[in-house]
Chain A
């Protein structure tokens, strides 16, 4: 009797295990034709995929872009027609003319026409879209429908990234649905996801972070060859296992598992770098206000070693011009500041510093700088501290909560800080992070030439001339060094090869570095 309960335990456990095994269903069988394609995502929920309710981040835009289309679009090599068959820029009138397709229908059967485009532009002026601003420099002064399938957009001022940032990013919405909608963010019914795209939304679950798309049978380029696309949520660490097990078809993977994935027969692709981490220098405070001092700092930081040590080699060393070496806009003549402690010493001595014991001093005071960063930059910060101290500059490195770092940088209450941002594909980012306001900008306006160039490249409509300006910007910026780009991390995706995923030229829409272009699912890409 004594052991009754103990004896009972196995009796309970065995049925429990059998039960557990029973509830395991048979493996889903892989089918040769593509009836379903599953994409893994570690965040899952990116909002309801309407043009206004999705979260204002790249993955949110992508989920919307399967349903809604833009005037022009991009494939792996550049701009291609989408809703507009052809377009031209009329320089003397500063206007774009778009000739639209006449065979497009909305998912509810209504015909698409120039009216919808005119409406969308007016609507977005009143209801800012998180990805497109139509007021100010990137704005459209007037839109007219020349006929049922031709629209003419008069720009506020010449705006170089217009095709990329506006025509290729702004989702066109149906006039007959959005006409009476005052609060577009709250429109989350089925009517909010009626677009012209190759897919329609069949389901969205906020809690589970899942999306289900079905191919739109009447799509004007023919029914997509992938019937069903699913987005499912899987934790970052489990995506490689799910890919190998075949339960998902594609997903982003950490760089460490690249070779393991390739051995398992998966296709691995890597994006042209799109993000950089930089050392922001307080150029309004002594002694960092001296250009030579900032250059001395740059010579002391070995960026190649930084990539090897802190990024385990999965990245590219930063170019002081910010534009990555993989970009078409990269100027190969940008000053590089190859690691050279002797140059640091020379520059600092030129500024009146003397190397005593292990650190530089000036007027009896030891040179000490404060470096702040949020915790995710801990290794990078420690590396910089170590290198600067080896070169004779004492560093007090502190990690703090991100908001505190931002607030201190915003208030110029720092010496050095580490900060990261993306959008490196399109040079318009340069103005925003070099001279515009905000903690995420160096707010460097003391070099008039640089400010003028930054302004001029935005309105230079000739691509070759613009490139020339961007080249000059890199040289001046790298020479003045209000901030130093440290590294560009590499990102990887793995997929089963059934659909040819690719990275869009200069990123999807205004520059999203994710290889989920809806074109991959419409027609088989080579």
Chain B
């Protein structure tokens, strides 16, 4: 079902990414230590520390030995040390990851489910008033970038009406626990999730609607109708399922960028996710963090692609014959 050639492709892509991550800072102008450690190195660097770092990264050795040292460290789970945060890179990123997963995960589920449902309904009644108004409305939404929707929502519900909080993932030092804490987190989550969901809703909707219209003309739909199946079964099980393939691809592409996909929305809401971390790292020129995030994004894109490849045949067995 899944060919060896495919796996080899993934391995090559993975190694290529690792190599890029290794060579980029070394190709930057100036001292590679500066590029590896960023601005902080300049402030915190003592001769002892410099000697230690040069040794750790084998910077005084030929390039291929440096590469060896790099892979050695990587396989021990060491993504580097951030001098800005005075901490190893991995825990800093992992500390932010749950919030990003919560934010992007909930909006991904919401926008996909809503997008598919609305797409099926809209495609089913193509040309009707409902279809046309939905199409126009969602096309309009599609034109807004997520951060812009976020700003509109924040200004309306946060600043003007004060219904939702202005920033963060929870109320600091509110002394809440249990259910009250959960509600507080949800209250902070509401606007950013709404912004992301609304911004990404249209993509899934348009794709589903288009495929739906094509699928409805298929002969098997006529057969199904002739069998006297209920409209609900026709719509969702026969037409709907077959319209999902492109949406799965699109969701996958977005999922691959889960780590940084919400960067702008996180910025607008000061949400403590990986996107915000990336932005801060860019401002502080904290190259170890930037590289760590880059590696994580690359790996998650690869993993998601792999999972999508695996899921296609389940959704549509015809895909397997293509190999």
- Of B85, B130, B269, the contact of A235 (CB 8 Å cutoff): B269
Q: In the complex the two chains form, is A403's CB within 8 Å of B168's CB?
A: no
User: In residues 53-71 of chain A, which contact B (Cβ within 8 Å)?
Assistant: 53, 55-56
Interface size on B, residues (CB 8 A): 50
Q: Are B96 and A207 in contact (CB under 8 A)?
A: yes
A504 beta carbon closer than 8 Å to chain B: no
Q: Is the CB of B154 within 8 A of A208?
A: no
Let me know if B166 and A403 touch, CB within 8 A.
no
Give the distance in Å from the alpha carbon of A77 to the alpha carbon of B154 in the complex: 42
Residues in A neighbouring B168, C-beta threshold 8 A: 208, 232-234
List which A200-254 residues lie within 8 A (CB) of chain B.
203, 205-210, 212, 230, 232-235, 238, 241-242, 245, 247
A42 to B267, CA, bound (A): 10
In the assembled complex, the Cα of A406 lies from the Cα of B35 at a distance in Å of 12
Q: Is the CB of B184 within 8 A of A5?
A: no
The answer to whether B187 and A407 have CB atoms under 8 Å apart is: no
Give the residue name and chain of the B residue nearest to A22 (CB): B183
A-B contact pairs, 8 of them (CB 8 A): A25-B187, A45-B85, A205-B172, A207-B95, A208-B168, A208-B272, A230-B173, A232-B168
A2 — which chain B residues lie within 8 A by C-beta? 125, 231
Nearest CB of chain A from residue B130's CB, rounded to whole Å:
7
Q: Once bound together, how far apart are the Cα atoms of A100 and B202, in whole Å?
A: 69
Number of A-B contacts (CB under 8 A): 113
- In the complex, what's the smallest C-beta–C-beta distance from A119 to chain B, in angstroms? 21
Q: Are B232 and A1 in contact (CB under 8 A)?
A: yes
Chain B residues lying within 8 Å of A45, measured Cβ to Cβ, are 85
Task: Determine the chain B residues whose CB is within 8 A of the CB of A91 once the complex forms.
Answer: none
Please give, as numbers and ranges, the residues of chain A lying within 8 Å of B270 by CB-CB distance. 42, 44, 233-235, 238
Q: Tell me which residues across on chain A come within 8 A of B167, comparing CB atoms.
A: 232-235, 238, 242
In the complex, which residues 209-262 of chain B have their Cβ closer than 8 Å to any Cβ of chain A? 230-232
Q: Flag whether B177 is at the interface (Cβ < 8 A).
A: no
Given B28, B86, B267, B268, which contacts A53 in the complex, CB threshold below 8 Å?
B86
Bound CA span A234–B130, Å? 41
User: Is A81 in contact with chain B by the CB < 8 A criterion?
Assistant: no
B317 at the interface (CB under 8 A from A): no
Bound CA span A311–B34, Å: 31
Q: Which residues of A contact B (CB under 8 A)?
A: 1-2, 4-6, 20-25, 42-45, 47, 53, 55-56, 128, 130, 185, 203, 205-210, 212, 230, 232-235, 238, 241-242, 245, 247, 402-404, 406-408, 410
Interface window among B14-22, B62-70, B156-164, B298-306: B156-164
B272 with A209: CB separation less than 8 A: yes
- Which single member of A128, A238, A402, A408 contacts B166 (CB below 8 Å)? A238
Decide: B186 and A212 in contact? CB cutoff 8 A.
Answer: no
Residue with the highest number of chain A CB atoms closer than 10 Å, among B121, B163, B165, B166: B166
- From known contacts A47-B85, A402-B285, infer whether A203 and B173 are also in contact, taking CB-CB under 8 Å: yes
Q: Residues of B contacting A205 with CB < 8 Å?
A: 172
The smallest beta-carbon distance between A66 and chain B, in angstroms, is 15
| Min C-beta distance of A177 to chain B, whole Å | 19
B309 at the A interface (CB under 8 A): no
Instruction: Provide the residues of chain B in CB contact with A42, threshold 8 Å.
Output: 270
CB closest residue in chain A, given B30: A407
**Known contacts A56-B44, A207-B99, then 17 further A-B pairs from the complex at CB < 8 Å, ordered by chain A residue:** A2-B231, A4-B232, A25-B184, A55-B84, A128-B46, A130-B44, A208-B168, A209-B272, A212-B173, A230-B173, A232-B168, A233-B167, A234-B166, A234-B168, A235-B268, A247-B166, A407-B29
* Cα A44 to Cα B167 with chains together (Å): 11
> Does A238 contact B158, Cβ atoms closer than 8 Å?
yes
A408–B29 alpha-carbon span in the complex (Å): 9
Specify the chain B residue showing the minimal Cβ separation from A235. Answer: B270
